Structure 1
Amino acid sequence: MLNFYCWILLSCNLLVYSATALQETNPHYKPLPSLREQAQIRDTWLNERISRIPSLLKKHGVDAWLMSQREHAEDTIWWSIKNATDYDAHRRTVLLFHTNGSALEGRPNPIKWVDNTGQVWPELLQTLINFNPRRIAINVDENIAFGGGLHVGEYDTISRALGPEWIQRMVNVPLLGIEYVTTKLESQLKYYRDMQHIVWLMMEEGFSHRTILPGVTTTEDLGWWFREKMLTLNVTTWNHPRVSVLTEESFPGWSGTEDIIHEGDLLHIDWGITAMGMNTDTQHMAYVLRDGEIDAPDSLKQGLKKANRMQDIHLDIMRAGMTGNEVLEKCLVQMKIEGIEGQIYSHPIGDWGHDAGAVIGFTNLPQHVPVLGELTILPNTYYSIELYAYHFVPERNEIIRFRIEENAYWDKETERWKFVKGRQENLWLVDQSRNAPLLKVQV
């Protein structure tokens, strides 16, 4: 009986020690503001962004910007012009942005109608007659989502309601929506950095002995751990975390692998979080240490270093005013000079995970991207620098794609893009030396 009580006492002490150890080693997350505070901050941003629309209209040579959408059939731009507490558009919501000319002096901008009776159309028609805009932008582009959000049914309804005279004045100006959506405010950067801080701490915790038990934990388990962890931090996501065991066959795609994680595995995650109307997109790699190892093999570290060099090339070449294809072509030339093989597929990020603007390569279009690659890269934007480097790993006799991705912001002083938090220059290490006793006590 004495031995039994001793065992209970020892177990309790171990549990206290384990809880204390976990508390001491768990990352310290800096919380974002409360949801109510976030809404106030986001609406302040919104007001500032919308106040710039009249100057954007003038820049792109239009006098007005007309949008019409119904609940559950919103224009793509809706999600960047709605209040923080709005979700779907109410009934039919019609918006008319204008240049604040004298004919509309004192009218709100945008002029907004919410209606399900058809009364909006005579009121809109009379407004246009009074205002007499020569060119009215509508979102009907065939190739660019941020310029093509007007549903066919809404266009047909507008055509019947306003008549051919006004339809002839309507023009397709996709760059208007692109520039509005992709331009970021200086005041957003602080909170975007806080979001990156959360992302890195989640990876530190996810790629650790606290989360992974080799031979038991699967890549699917780890992906769902990230999803559950997000809920505790009051953030969500725009894509499910894709966790993979990297092999020669691994290729960027829309899903992870379904593998049991073992010692010696090279892990990869592609994921992002959503908060405060902004999105992140990150790819990092981790190595599961074998028994007795204290670091990853040099060959793996060299593969990551090669991918880092590709990031350097990318940011050194990328400039506002260049097209995405121009940046891509120059990067590929420099990579060839340095003997680096790999692929670049970077994209804008911000309001959306894949945001408005020029792309720099696609996984299936490695050298030239029609339409989106021909767009001009704009300043005051965020970009996701996404790429991989091929690297031969002799221990595995495999050529592995070292896939990394970091988010970058426009720095006005240097007129260059810089990483919001930094970049991965060392593999995350899953150290099992402390794992067994903690899990044994829990069992």
Structure 2
Amino acid sequence: MNKNIFQLPRNLVFFIMFVMLTGQAVARQENPFTGDNPWPDIRKERITKVLPEAMKTAGVDAWIVVCRENNNDPIAHHIGGENAGGTAVFLFYIKDEKFGSIVFSPAGEATALADLHIHDQVLPIPRGHSAISAAAEYAKSRPFTKIAVNSSSENEMADGLSYTQRKNMEEAFGSEAAKFVSSNELLYEWLSIKLPSEVDIMKKAAQLTSDWQYEAYSQVRPGKSTDADIAKFLKNKIAEYGFKDGWAADQNPNVNSGPDRGHSHATDKIIMPGDVIQIDFGIRVYDMWVTDIQRFAYVLRPGEVVAPDSVQQYWENSKQGSRIALSAMRPGVTGYDVDKAQRDFMKKKGSEYVMWSTGHPVGYVAHDVGPSLGGAQLIDSKPRAESFKKLKPGMVFAFDGFFAWKLPDGREKTMSVEEMAVVTADGASYLIDPQEELILIKDAIKQ
């Protein structure tokens, strides 16, 4: 038996041993995401516990979100407005340290919205009347000083207010529209922090994401299998379990056994001995939380039992870069600090230039709201403001350990072992055990 099988997670070792000994498949891995969707309860907790603190940090005492059918605000699902038909206005406020919420909803939808028990009040607006006007009259009667609205040039999640909606809001509020400020900072503070229950869900999802990649590698037959075959295997896993893609379906997973292709789709390139294979893969569970994990493998050439020293060193450098990035992640440091810690190591080890940021927030989308673990790679331009945002407990990141080198034809290949981690009170911890060893695939061309 190939000794390198023991480099796989224990559950997959048992799976492969069983198949090798019996020639039969075993029952599929247990799905941890059956039963009721926990999002309704988690959403309510996020609104009542996390949102007030986000509003205080952002320095606003009111927040207005306008929801509607077909072209809804991207934040609608987070506040209970995902089923809006006619225009509905959601108003959150803080008065005398008390947090509250009120919804001005079309009458035909108000009953169902009230049944969700998310908001303090749901006021039915009769047909032919404007929810925006009703919300404006209510807000103007209150001593609000700063009213956040979803217009932003920095964050698409805070930019859901259309031009005509903004115009209607300004007309309805009149001179009080001078109190409008962007919800950019508010949404940054609210969405970037994940509850412990959400982190637990993402841990389970990350484990599946990683396990399936190991299983996909066990299917590879050099000289026959293609990058697209691996992608198809993982696509079938998503369908079998009833999940969704972690990002754009055409590029998930990105499987690449050749030179770097960046964010891309898997091609029909045949996997050959000597190839370093990258799988970049993510799943969406409960239609809410996503993962982003990469696993790397090397295809042994005839006569090889381990990877060549050069490839093994590339792997060790990449892995060490990941560990350095993790050790730099703690409350109070900036995303730039984390990126620079790894860049300094890459420079010391002689890595080629890598354009990508070390990491990014992940949670509700693959590239979520929060600090960017990047900026130190930029030479001729200024880093984004998100690079200088400070890390806080509860933030979850997907981040890479980088090492890039030149291939014989002059093109580049990058190892970017990607893990997920959560920031804790005094540092950061991986969501799941990281990849410790380069996966080795036996040459099977002559078999």
TM category, shorter: 0.7 to 0.9
1:62-101, aligned counterparts within 5 Å?
Answer: 62-82=60-80, 87=82, 89-99=84-94, 101=96
Asked if the contact 2:223/2:444 (under 8 Å) is kept, the reply is no
Partner residue, 1:31: 31
TM-score between the two structures when normalised by the length of structure 2:
0.80
SS of residue matched to 1:67: strand
- The 1:111/1:202 distance shift into structure 2, 3 A limit, reads same
| Structure 1 residue 373 displacement after superposition | 1.9
Give the partner amino acid of 2:169.
I
Q: Which moves more between the two structures, 416-425 or 92-101?
A: 92-101
Task: Quote the Cα distance in structure 1 between the aligned partners of 2:435 and 2:405.
Answer: 17
1:353 has 2:366 as partner:
yes
Partner residue, 1:405: 418
Partner residue, 2:139: 128
Partner residue, 2:12: none
Asked if the contact 2:398/2:420 (under 8 Å) is kept, the reply is yes
| Structure 1 residue 215 displacement after superposition | 2.5
Counting matched residue pairs gives 405
Give the partner amino acid of 2:347.
K
1:424-443, aligned counterparts within 5 Å?
Answer: 424-431=435-442
Asked if the contact 2:396/2:422 (under 8 Å) is kept, the reply is yes
| Structure 1 residue 90 displacement after superposition | 3.0
Q: Which moves more between the two structures, 260-269 or 325-334?
A: 325-334
Unaligned runs of 5+ in 2: 1-17, 103-117
Asked if the contact 2:405/2:412 (under 8 Å) is kept, the reply is yes
1:371 has 2:385 as partner:
yes
Task: Quote the Cα distance in structure 2 between the aligned partners of 1:155 and 1:106.
Answer: 21
1:27-426, aligned counterparts within 5 Å?
Answer: 29-34=29-34, 36-37=35-36, 39=37, 41-52=38-49, 53-82=51-80, 87=82, 89-99=84-94, 101=96, 109=119, 117-160=128-171, 162-208=172-218, 211-237=219-245, 238-239=247-248, 240-247=252-259, 250-276=260-286, 277-337=288-348, 339-341=350-352, 343=354, 344-361=357-374, 365=378, 368-391=382-405, 400-412=413-425, 415-426=426-437
Task: Quote the Cα distance in structure 1 between the aligned partners of 2:391 and 2:211.
Answer: 31
| Structure 1 residue 168 displacement after superposition | 0.9
Asked if the contact 1:92/1:114 (under 8 Å) is kept, the reply is no
Task: Quote the Cα distance in structure 2 between the aligned partners of 1:313 and 1:339.
Answer: 16
Q: Which moves more between the two structures, 126-135 or 149-158?
A: 126-135
SS of residue matched to 2:25: helix
- The 1:87/1:78 distance shift into structure 2, 3 A limit, reads closer
Identity of aligned residues (%): 23
| Structure 1 residue 267 displacement after superposition | 1.1
Task: Quote the Cα distance in structure 1 between the aligned partners of 2:19 and 2:318.
Answer: 41
Unaligned runs of 5+ in 1: 1-15, 437-443
| Structure 1 residue 19 displacement after superposition | 9.9
Query: Which structure has the larger Rg?
Result: 1
SS of residue matched to 1:31: coil
Deviations 1:219-270 (A, max 9, x none): 12221221111111222112321111133xx242333444112233221111
SS of residue matched to 1:75: coil
| Structure 1 residue 311 displacement after superposition | 1.2
Asked if the contact 1:304/1:425 (under 8 Å) is kept, the reply is no
Give the partner amino acid of 1:401.
T
- The 1:46/1:426 distance shift into structure 2, 3 A limit, reads same
Deviations 1:298-337 (A, max 9, x none): 3222211101111122122233223323333344335435
- The 1:224/1:419 distance shift into structure 2, 3 A limit, reads same
Task: Quote the Cα distance in structure 1 between the aligned partners of 2:82 and 2:320.
Answer: 42
Task: Quote the Cα distance in structure 1 between the aligned partners of 2:99 and 2:266.
Answer: 54
Partner residue, 1:21: 23
| Structure 1 residue 135 displacement after superposition | 1.2
- The 1:133/1:333 distance shift into structure 2, 3 A limit, reads same
SS of residue matched to 1:361: coil
Deviations 1:346-388 (A, max 9, x none): 1011111100011122798478522332333332110111242
Partner residue, 1:7: none
Q: Which moves more between the two structures, 97-106 or 330-339?
A: 97-106
Task: Quote the Cα distance in structure 2 between the aligned partners of 1:281 and 1:128.
Answer: 41
SS of residue matched to 2:332: coil
Q: Which moves more between the two structures, 181-190 or 112-121?
A: 112-121
